[in-house]
Structure 1
């Protein structure tokens, strides 16, 4: 059976949602990952081809990529898995998409823009919840206020988190936060700032996090100062601030092992009912040097549901030839209004 794209990490929580969405949209992925047993079971269930290989097996990786024109990488943490896949795409001339939200991965791929252009390859990390809605929101705000010099983004995820998301958070615990100042990424303490934001249901407190948009929003808009906030329970904010003194401990092998064992004991991710009830609320504000500002709110389906939809649509567009070479962000590749094309998305200009 011929495959339309390679889906690496297909048997993970989000990978499964993507595979099911692809089938519903008439696409056939080549299911891929390290676990041969999990792949065989998934392939039998979905009636799709599969291939088992590790990312450090360059020969097997290249052979799989030569069977397709685009890869959708869904196996995190991407800080450990993205680079070998990116390098393989550059070697084989295959377009690269992933669903990362990790700041360092965006900057790594952005630094390879020249090589990607030379290879005629599009590289667009962040084809999921992070960063499609927030990146399109940033670009929309820049369009509303072209003179903007600062951008503030915030989001509230209503629903649960997958084991993969929680594992990435655990691995990054203790590394502090990040904002962009004067066009450069600056490290700041964890939970650096808090503020009040109204997502449309009344003011709530949000706190800074080193989200992927600290990277991508600058590349999309050129706005030099960027901060990203999220809704975090007060108890977790206190824990984040405690890591300012205990970051070395959070990164130690015993504590990492303890956190990851606890994650593995939990559910794989939100149930279908939780995803159906869930939603993602986003808010953005831009300001310029003269004090002018614009504010926009965005509401989307629950994050994992949205990720499956946006990632599969990105694959469809790339296969249709909409694949500008080089490093891309969602809004640079497909426009600020791309997010509004998805079912259940509402955008409101507030100020």
Structure 2
């Protein structure tokens, strides 16, 4: 590899800054980068790190910025707009690619470039944060417990507030409906298509289907053809999700989305340090086979943004140490189902 350092693009964002600070605490020296150098510079001064400002529209500029780094950790969303030019740059410069996306369309677009990545000797590993490391590792663990599994359900309860970036991504996707995987094929379904009772470890809750990234990634990690993902929401949120089925034409209008995004920008960047310390991530998974046999496992760990910083930094360390597999990958395919247990504060339990 060309360099022991990595480039952190989107370092001035809420999650990017968390990752930058944790990386420095762990002895890494990331090169901070973003579209606007004036927004990246203050963090670079605070942490004593090199910084670069460049946009993703110009190929030559991207290639120059990536020429001397071994791996990019891409944290600048919305990834539906930014991942393609960054992946293309990584393929041209033979730079390993990581990101923190949770968007199904992004996972699928990157998976389609598997052959190109193998030809370039590059690993493309999207989803190295809370989307989707813990759930992906849980899915792989469940498949190992029941190798005959043909059906997978995953669920999570995120205890804590979301960042402006996450909220913006949700606004951009709110009119697109839900997704599940049926017979190996991504299949559109209505928003909040199913609701079921799930015990994430702190009592039974109602959870509803969402188009979470594992609808894409768990298929590659486990080979299971039928996949659903659930999330626990308050009743008022579930009602709003159901109502959005009939307002998708309105929610997709540029003027409506712009108005919602302006409201989001008036909110705090994300959870405070105290809120993150008090929050938890609770995950549940279930697999079944055609005979009716089923097994259930659960995970609990730090709050989602804290967990994202921890898993993303841990994976960067592994890549810099040469632990890579070229082509499109998922976290569990490269580092195993037990990788998540290497993260401080994560516990897993198996249920009969």
TM-score range, shorter chain: over 0.9
Alignment correspondent of 1:131: 132
Alignment correspondent of 1:237: 238
Q: Which runs of 4+ in 1 moved over 2 A?
A: none
Deviations 1:163-216 (A, max 9, x none): 000000000011100000001100000011000000111100000000000000
Count of aligned positions? 350
Alpha-carbon separation, structure 2, partners of 1:41 and 1:203: 45
Alpha-carbon separation, structure 2, partners of 1:348 and 1:238: 32
Alpha-carbon separation, structure 2, partners of 1:142 and 1:84: 34
Given that residues 4 and 320 in structure 2 are in contact (C-alpha distance below 8 angstroms), is that contact kept between their aligned partners in structure 1?
no
RMSD: 0.8
SS in 2 for 1:337: helix
User: How much does 1:329 deviate?
Assistant: 0.2
Alignment correspondent of 2:84: 83
User: How much does 1:118 deviate?
Assistant: 0.6
Alpha-carbon separation, structure 1, partners of 2:123 and 2:184: 24
Alpha-carbon separation, structure 2, partners of 1:269 and 1:41: 18
Please state if 1:340 is matched with 2:346.
no
User: How much does 1:19 deviate?
Assistant: 0.2
Query: In the TM superposition, what are the counterparts of 1:12-161 in structure 2 within 5 Å?
Result: 12-161=13-162
Alignment correspondent of 1:287: 288
SS in 1 for 2:128: coil
SS in 2 for 1:32: strand
Given that residues 4 and 70 in structure 2 are in contact (C-alpha distance below 8 angstroms), is that contact kept between their aligned partners in structure 1?
no
SS in 1 for 2:245: helix
User: How much does 1:73 deviate?
Assistant: 0.1
Alignment correspondent of 2:329: 328
Given that residues 3 and 29 in structure 1 are in contact (C-alpha distance below 8 angstroms), is that contact kept between their aligned partners in structure 2?
no
Please state if 1:296 is matched with 2:281.
no
Alignment correspondent of 1:182: 183
User: How much does 1:151 deviate?
Assistant: 0.2
Deviations 1:51-75 (A, max 9, x none): 0011112211110101101000000
Please state if 1:171 is matched with 2:172.
yes
For structure 1, which runs of at least 5 residues remain unmatched after alignment? none
Alpha-carbon separation, structure 1, partners of 2:175 and 2:239: 13
TM-score by length of 1: 0.99
Alignment correspondent of 1:214: 215
For structure 2, which runs of at least 5 residues remain unmatched after alignment? none
Alpha-carbon separation, structure 2, partners of 1:15 and 1:324: 24
SS in 2 for 1:201: coil
User: How much does 1:3 deviate?
Assistant: 6.8
